[in-house]
Structures are given as C-alpha cells and as structure tokens.
Amino acid sequence: MPQNKAKLRLLQIIIFKAAHLVWILRCERVIQDKTLDKRGIKTRWLRVINERLTTDRITAYQTKRNPQFTKLAKQTWKKIVKQNGTLPFNWFQNHEVLVGINV
C-alpha cells in the first residue's frame, strides 16, 4: 500500500476535523458566549482525533474486516500514535493507545 495514500487520508481527516472543531468553538463563543483557554482547546482536539482513531479501529476490525482497509487505516495513524516511545505489535487493536502530540 503506498504511503502517499495513507498520508493523504490523514491530511483529509485532520483538515476536516480541525475545520469542524473551529466551527463548533466559534458557535459556542458567538451563540453561548463561551470561551475556552488553550488547554481546553487542546484537550478537545485530542479527544476529537482519538475518537476518529477509535472509529477507524472499529471499522477495520468489526465492520469491514477488509485487509486492505485495515492496512490503510494502520498506515494512516502509525506515525502520529505514541505510547511510551514505542508501539506494541497489536497497537491498532489495543484500545489504550492514544494520539500524542510531539512538541
């Protein structure tokens, strides 16, 4: 499976999720007069991305069960997932792996 397809897929996911979160935050600010600090926004962003990772896992292993999709989903998330610096063999099935941010 070409790496470019996985990279493009990740880019599409990030752009869509970021735009959606910005829209939600703006609506909360304008309509509900809410404000979030940087920490709150970062927490929400990580939750959104982790929810998408979980959706891909469920889709790959419980819904589609298609080896090509499973491989694509793994390639999409592999480089941005971190757990103590290394990934276990079954990281895609393990529900404790979370997306981290390298700063």
Q: Each residue of 55-102: pLDDT tens digit?
A: 988 888 877 778 898 889 888 988 887 655 666 677 777 666 555 554
The dihedrals phi and psi of 8, each to the nearest 5 degrees, come to -65, -40
Q: What is the pLDDT of residue 103?
A: 35
Q: What is the pLDDT of residue 88?
A: 66
**Following CA atoms 70, 73, 75, 80 in sequence, which dihedral angle do they give, to the nearest 10 degrees?**
-140
48: exposed, middle or buried (Cβ count in 10 Å: 0-12, 13-18, 19+): middle
Query: C-alpha angle 10/68/5, rounded to 5°?
Result: 30
User: How confident is the model over 3-62, as pLDDT tens digits?
Assistant: 799 999 999 999 999 999 999 999 999 999 998 899 999 999 999 998 998 898 888 887
Per DSSP (E only), the strands in 34-97 are 81-82
Q: What is the pLDDT of residue 82?
A: 64
